[in-house]
Amino acid sequence: MSDYQIETKCVQGAWNPKKGEPRVLPIYQSTTFKYETSDQMARLFDLEEDGYFYSRLQNPTNDLVAEKICQLEGGAAAMLTSSGQAAIFYAVFNICEAGDHIVCSSMLYGGTYNLFSVTLKKLGIETTFVDPDAEPEELEKAFQPNTKVLYAETIANPALVVLDIEKFAKLAHSHNVPLIVDNTFATPINCQPIKWGADIVIHSTSKYMDGHGIILGGCIVDSGNFDWMAYGEKYHGLTQPDPSYHGIIYAEKFGKKAYITKVNVQLMRDLGATPAPQNSFLLNIGLETLHLRVPRHCENAQKVAEYLSTHEKIAWVKYAGLPTDKYYPLHQKYCPKGTCGVLCFGLKGGRDESVAFMDKLKLAAIVTHVADARTCVLHPASHTHRQMTEEKLIEAGVQPDLIRFSVGIENADDIIADLEQALK
């Protein structure tokens, strides 16, 4: 499969049926798997052999869909989780513990902000938030001896800041830490962060990958490029014996698959945010058309952004596809085919006017979601980012009047007509 183009991988990646097997990836709807001898199963528990025994840890449907996403991102190994939030938590917690520190872009999804600033803090993991557009010298200052991760989003939700991935990768590697990138909005169709130096990529598959707003899910993809052994004590969970598996050393035994093996056999084993195989089956159907849907989302969003940017009632529009946008040059470099189908704008008249306008939309629905086939709209300051103070909102790139508009794959003229009547 690795020789094929990304479109072919979307359709046919990972599942290669042999003679007489189902053409379509089947749902392995089973919690457990059968063995001939007690010893065979014991070897699985010791990680001496690869195989299925209990679906909390591994299930063939889940693994094959993870493998497809791994191919799309150009990674070495991947694992699905039951939501994007679980993927982020596991990705970080796999290499951080109490007493550790994270440097994180302040341009973040609201849920990730809460996870880092509230929940991880309770577990003893501190986060310093940085402005991703700051100069490297400024960003350097955030690093501490106990920093274990640099974290950012390719296209920030909802601030739509395009990340300078190379700058961040350089920064991370000069401090001997991996760069973890949330690639949910760009999708591997528009950007593959591993090519630009990211070490680990995570996804909320609930967005474009599913694409139909029907299933929550997440994915962690590891490039296999970060050399854990080079920093022995620092990443001791990977480089020193694990007593819960008779002293296995992940980085030695599993090489490029060490990080994903550990997150699977430790965190999934103990915390259990396993996706249902049914959901992975549906996710796979979404992935089959990802390469068709994403360009259409971008094409429609571009038309909507152009329409809004000249409208007299619109105060401002953020969309990296507009040549006047601050992030146009980074979009040209990292996602020349397009960034995503989401754009932001504010109405003249501020917050109240923006909210009143949303209520007038007919085709675009007010929902807590983005990035699916149906056009939808949300006011982050009242919804996803409601817990933040005005000051924190600005820091996260969320102006109080900001409307997040997720352009679907309907006819662009119909979407624009809906905006037109609501603006009137």
Supply the minimum distance, in Å, between the C-beta of residue 83 and ligand PLP: 3
Task: Please tell me the number of Cα atoms within 13 Å of 424 on its side-chain side.
Answer: 6
Helix 350-360 and helix 412-423, axial crossing angle in degrees, nearest 10: 120
Contact predicate 362/421, CB 8 Å: yes
Among 184, 239, 279, 375, binds ligand PLP (CB under 6 A): 184
For residues 253-282, which are near ligand PLP according to CB under 6 A?
none
Instruction: Name residue 50's amino acid.
Output: D
Residue 132 or 237 having the CB closest to ligand PLP: 132
380 interacts with ligand PLP by CB under 6 A = no
210 interacts with ligand PLP by CB under 6 A = no
**Rounded CA gap, 294 and 227, in Å?**
33
Give the pair of three-digit tokens for residue 245. 């598996």
Give the pair of three-digit tokens for residue 379. 């006011």
81 interacts with ligand PLP by CB under 6 A = no
157 interacts with ligand PLP by CB under 6 A = yes
Beta strands in 348-419 (DSSP E): 365-366, 376-378, 403-406
Coil/strand/helix, residue 40: helix
Among 58, 61, 71, 85, binds ligand PLP (CB under 6 A): 85
Size, binding site for ligand PLP by CB under 6 A = 16
339 interacts with ligand PLP by CB under 6 A = no
Binding window for ligand PLP (CB under 6 A); candidates: 59-67, 180-188, 235-243, 403-411? 180-188
Supply the minimum distance, in Å, between the C-beta of residue 184 and ligand PLP: 4
- Site of tokens 């590891």: 222
Residue 152 or 169 having the CB closest to ligand PLP: 152
Check the CA dihedral 285-291-294-296 and report its sign.
Answer: negative
84 interacts with ligand PLP by CB under 6 A = yes
Supply the minimum distance, in Å, between the C-beta of residue 182 and ligand PLP: 5
Give the pair of three-digit tokens for residue 104. 């994180």
> By the criterion CB under 6 A, which residues form the site for ligand PLP?
83-85, 109, 111-112, 153, 157, 182, 184-185, 204, 206-207, 216, 218
